[in-house]
Structure 1
């Protein structure tokens, strides 16, 4: 176990999605409107059928035909930027039967296709929208009465700056999300879904070149290498290269550029597409083989074989004057793995950046 890793004494707490909190707030406001009394607790159904009760932070009638309720989001032990958000529902009577759902302050507006949501509409995903309608319908007979429900999140616009919403074309706030209603701590599933969604949005813009970056630093080098491409083409793929490539193939994209540092590139060159540190290790033996292939001495190759990390191998290459040649060979192998994964359907480029992310030190194929 790495010495920096802490032993956790108890299980991580799950939390609730913004969609679940919005449905609870909407039900509380609808109940207040129906009964004339503030609701202190609202019970709602998750997509699984499980029912969960939420205490309201605030619930009040704000007019003869309007009520408002707030539920504070608890994301459990997940590092969610919306943890603590005051998810607010304002429910107003209207003349026509049924439920009209809209977004208010702090809920983003959809400005690009590819998200499965109406352009110009609120960024309230289909499952949360259904949960809200069901919750409100439990409080009021919406087949005979009409309600307008507006979901808002004070500080939502500020929270959204820490998300990929702007890049996806969601402007002015956060998204109301959730497929199960539950937030799983440190969910890899949610990151994978965000990667797949980013590829979908890019494809919907008519772009055919997908640039996969392993993180924020590598994206700097990628944008310097491809300044002609719009921002939507750059996707922070994390450890989900395989998922991104499968989605790219689904949309018939033609070209993929992978930009990373030595460690991630080594894992990909070894044929490992799930590159999380808990799932795979850097093969310094492969880097030693590359050292020999590009003409490095046996002493240097043996030192690379025994290197502690990909970065250590990179530093040896740099010291021995082999960085450009060895980096290009590493990138060639990465491109080969990704090409085989796509069965030749994708034109693949791979590039290695230094550890600042600002400089591309090697690539395959070389660009003129």
Structure 2
């Protein structure tokens, strides 16, 4: 998963999930197969009860099978699947069952802990239900209730797109997941990120890990992995800006130790008790940092410099980045108290990480 992007100003356009796109393609393909007529547009019912029309990019059929595709529109969300070609190939049989098959570009589940069983294509439960409902309605409308359907969902270049996600860490190999709980993509919504956090922790627990390394993203994780070479990839969780939600999930999981990596900009917010550290939600409080430094015993002439800074990262100009520096001890102590209260049953260790990869561990000999 890439580093988080800033939220642009102004109204943002919503889009549609991969699950909604796969449902549209499957319904169109089944309709074209039954009627032996090309489908150009199709309307589906989203889980939120809203009807939505989709335009099909292609629709090709024979007497035995049909394949339809559509281009995913994620609206103004910086979704890695925006613009992806999603498709479905369907064929009828006499089994009376609806089965899902793994197409090119859709991942396969290889680790326990997800809502989909090992060996299954990574098509999440809600999209499966959307597709199943649409197919059963069509079969019923055409007096074909006794028929079964083989459904192969595919995504063009899905394996390449998946490299920009955390799928492999979750044991989803070979492509992307077909996702969505509402059918709608809300731009810059926290829900999808928080869902990936929850899944990551579930996978770690299901695979026997009782120690996690949680961090804001790829940059901090790169440095932390050097400190924990024996931990598997699935033990590393990106919290993004949602430290509170991550710790709350850990609190109800059998995790015994949490190593939390954080960079200076987020740490000054966390120290004040901001568990959502997004710059669009919370800005760093210079007065709070000023008081923290004052209580740590720094002189007034140095304290006045804090109020002139426009970025928390500049604090290293005043305070040498070292474990013995009282400012960082006070900062980390406040972070520790805010986080440890949320996970009382787990050991917590903090790592404050500098831009050049140096770190200060807390607790330490100066604590």
How far off is 1:153 after superposition?
0.7
Spell out the pairing of 1:326-365 with structure 2 (5 A cutoff).
326-342=327-343, 344-356=344-356, 358-360=357-359, 362-365=360-363
Specify the alignment match of 2:210 in structure 1.
208
Whether contact under 8 Å (1:98, 1:143) holds in the other structure is no
Whether contact under 8 Å (2:72, 2:83) holds in the other structure is yes
Specify the alignment match of 1:220 in structure 2.
222
Stretch moving more, 165-174 or 49-58:
49-58
How far off is 1:285 after superposition?
3.4
TM score, norm. by length of structure 2: 0.91
> What is the DSSP-based 3-state SS (H/G/I as helix, E as strand, rest coil) of the residue aligned with 2:341?
helix
Spell out the pairing of 1:1-368 with structure 2 (5 A cutoff).
7-8=9-10, 11-61=11-61, 63-141=62-140, 143-292=145-294, 294-318=296-320, 324-342=325-343, 344-356=344-356, 358-360=357-359, 362-366=360-364
How far off is 1:114 after superposition?
1.3
> What is the DSSP-based 3-state SS (H/G/I as helix, E as strand, rest coil) of the residue aligned with 1:252?
coil
Whether contact under 8 Å (1:288, 1:305) holds in the other structure is yes
Alpha-carbon distance between aligned partners in 2 of 1:329 and 1:90, rounded to the nearest angstrom? 60
Alpha-carbon distance between aligned partners in 1 of 2:287 and 2:187, rounded to the nearest angstrom? 35
Q: How many residues align?
A: 358
How far off is 1:234 after superposition?
1.2
C-alpha spacing 1:59/1:25, structure 2 compared with 1 (3 Å)? same
Whether contact under 8 Å (2:7, 2:280) holds in the other structure is no
TM score, norm. by length of structure 1: 0.91
Stretch moving more, 276-285 or 14-23:
276-285
Whether contact under 8 Å (1:328, 1:363) holds in the other structure is no
Aligned residues: CA RMSD: 2.2
Alpha-carbon distance between aligned partners in 2 of 1:7 and 1:50, rounded to the nearest angstrom? 27
Whether contact under 8 Å (2:88, 2:151) holds in the other structure is yes
How far off is 1:359 after superposition?
2.0
C-alpha spacing 1:367/1:195, structure 2 compared with 1 (3 Å)? farther
How far off is 1:96 after superposition?
0.9
C-alpha spacing 1:5/1:45, structure 2 compared with 1 (3 Å)? closer
Alpha-carbon distance between aligned partners in 2 of 1:230 and 1:100, rounded to the nearest angstrom? 33
Alpha-carbon distance between aligned partners in 2 of 1:178 and 1:101, rounded to the nearest angstrom? 17
C-alpha spacing 1:251/1:6, structure 2 compared with 1 (3 Å)? closer
Name stretches of at least 5 consecutive residues in structure 1 with no aligned partner.
none
Alpha-carbon distance between aligned partners in 2 of 1:323 and 1:167, rounded to the nearest angstrom? 36
How far off is 1:353 after superposition?
0.9
- Partner deviation per Cα, 1:151-176 (whole Å, 9 max, x = no partner): 01110000001111111111100000
